[in-house]
Amino acid sequence: MRKQQKGFSLIELLIVVAIILIIAAIAIPNLMRARMAANDSSAAGSEHTIIVGEVGYYGAYPATGYAVLSNLGGAASPCVAATNSGCLIDNNLATNGGGTGKSGYSFAATPNTPSSTVAADFYTTAAPLSNVTGTKAYCAVDDGVLRWGGAGVITAPTSYPTCQGWTPLQN
């Protein structure tokens, strides 16, 4: 006479593991796409924040012109506004996530210092750190319009005119 077996057989456990793997294979790509879409939205919002910060900085320090990204933030608490720490945007964004990017994107702001022959302007860029962290590169110039490079473009523009040539984002 056989004793009644308690527990699961090896075949039953293998079937359960196989089902879990099939479900994971279906769910993980959707999760990655959702995360990339969230990173894209965060980058667009951060670009808008940088634009507003640049305009505020120029209004506060017109003789200085626009600022590099790090001068828009301020690490001290409480933040004291000055030309090297405008206290206009979050310091995590101003320091580009401590140099490692923010939400899978790398940000930059490039000012053009005003002179007698050159008007003050700036352009700001956001590019995904890799094709896994985002799907779009963004930029904006001093007109305040957020632009993107089109489907599949994940590298930031390298100049003011290049950014102006990109497609305005339709919100």
Q: Shortest CA distance to 57 belongs to which of 70, 69, 66?
A: 66
Total-model pTM: 0.80
> pLDDT tens digits for 57-87?
998 988 888 889 989 988 777 888 888 888 8
Query: Per residue of the chain (171 residues), what is the pLDDT tens digit?
Result: 566 767 788 898 999 999 999 999 988 888 888 999 999 999 999 999 999 999 999 989 888 888 899 899 887 778 888 888 888 998 889 888 777 888 889 999 998 866 655 667 899 999 999 888 888 999 999 888 999 988 888 899 988 889 999 999 876
- Provide the sign of the torsion angle of the four alpha carbons 13, 15, 16, 20, taken in this order: positive
